[in-house]
Amino acid sequence: METYLPVGKLPRHLLASLLDRYANLTAGVVLGPRIGEDAAVLEMPDRYLVVSTDPITFATREMGHYAVTVNANDVVTCGARPRWFLMNLLLPEGASDAEVERLFQQVHAACRGLEVGLVGGHTEVTPGLDRPLLIGTMIGEVAKDRLVVTSGAQVDDDLLLTKGIAVEGTAILARERETFLRSRGYSEESIQRAQAYLDDPGIGVVKEALVAVETARVGAMHDPTEGGLSAGLYELSEAAGVGLEVEEAQISILDDTRRLCEEFRLDPLGLIASGALLITCRPGDTSQLLRAIQAAGVPVRKIGRVVPQTRGVVLIGPQGVKPFPAFERDEIVKIFAE
């Protein structure tokens, strides 16, 4: 019997089953599709190419910036430097040439900021859409001895989190519900500050990821995106076959995030969290890595450690140890379902 799917990522068990049955790997594939791995790795004679693709489906403003940045994030978490970007832009009927040009300008600016080339893609006006959809593909390259994969986390690694949560979710809430927030008495300053999370603290993780691989023995890096910190932790756990112990008191929930989540009755642990970066590293490197990332101007905390898989993904708080909260879909979906 057919099962109808909710909005958001495919359930992990369904996606894992589909990949097991239908992924068609060929020669030269170093890393193919797996739960928790956001990029493919392809072997070249002298280096690896790292390729990722992601759509922008929740944000409707600054889509070009989002598309370039989140795809660059997936590539750099493999230790690779982003190099080339392609975009597939689908526009609703009635879109104007000025709207298209704004999107191209956004993509151009984001690519230029990362020294990435816009090298191809596809554009069309598509019937049946109620908003533009932008699907990006980023290609990067990394030396063969510098590759990092999510499955590389090892038991006894320390677990770090940069910036805090949920940067992207906060920006989307403030941008997509600006009029509502104003009606609720939020000041223009607070709305604009939350909207600016797109750039400050920013949804990109390229700088801190490159610092990490240049500084420490990094086991894994993973950026929690759709599904928030919760999904990021469970994906890392599944990819590496490990458990995770997370200290509740060490999770940095950004002030504007906490306030907006209370307003919309959302749980920040399940809110789309691009801008944060999960890193595992050997305990002897933790202090040096924390200092290096902080010196680069990026806040970072040790939030836990990697443990055997049998312990699961758990949250340690004032009430003791419990399974880390899991969400069927990203919390941001709730505001679009209203």
Q: 10-24, 95-109, 247-261, 292-306 — which is least confidently predicted?
A: 10-24
Q: What is the pLDDT of residue 57?
A: 75
Average pLDDT value for the chain: 93
Return the pLDDT at 3: 82
Q: What is the pLDDT of residue 338?
A: 58
Task: Locate 193 and state its tokens.
Answer: 């500050």
Mean pLDDT of 94-115: 95
Distance CA 126, CA 107 (A): 20
Tokens of 123: 């554009």
52-56, 225-229, 306-310, range with greatest mean pLDDT: 306-310
Find, among 182, 189, 198, 167, the residue nearest to 276 by Cα: 167
CA 280/CA 286 separation, integer angstroms: 9
Q: 336 or 309, which is more confident?
A: 309
Q: Which band of pLDDT confidence, cut at 50, 70 and 90, is reported for residue 61?
A: confident
pLDDT in tens, 4-24: 887 777 888 888 888 889 888
Domain boundaries, the chain: 12-146, 150-336
Whole-structure pTM value:
0.89
Query: Long-range CB contacts (< 8 A, 24+ apart) of 183-191?
Result: 184/263, 190/256, 190/259
CA distance 250 to 241: 23
Which residues, 6 or more positions from 205, have their beta carbon under 8 angstroms from its beta carbon?
Answer: 73, 76, 77, 162, 223, 274, 275, 276, 277
Beta carbons within 10 angstroms of residue 12's beta carbon: 16
Answer whether residue 145 shows pLDDT above 90: yes
List of residues 6+ apart from 63 with CB closer than 8 A:
56, 103, 106, 132, 134
According to the model, what pLDDT value does residue 137 have?
98
Contacts of 207 (CB under 8 A, 6+ apart): 296, 297, 298
Q: What is the CATH number of domain 150-336?
A: 3.90.650.10
Q: 283 or 337, which is more confident?
A: 283
- Mean pLDDT score, 180-190: 95
- Inter-axis angle of helices 255-264 and 167-176, to 10 degrees? 50
Quote the tokens at residue 327.
């969400």
Task: Report, at the CATH architecture level, how domain 12-146 is classified.
Answer: 2-Layer Sandwich (3.30)
Q: What is the arithmetic mean of pLDDT over 238-243? A: 95
pLDDT digits (tens, 9 = 90+) for 297-318: 999 999 999 999 999 999 999 9
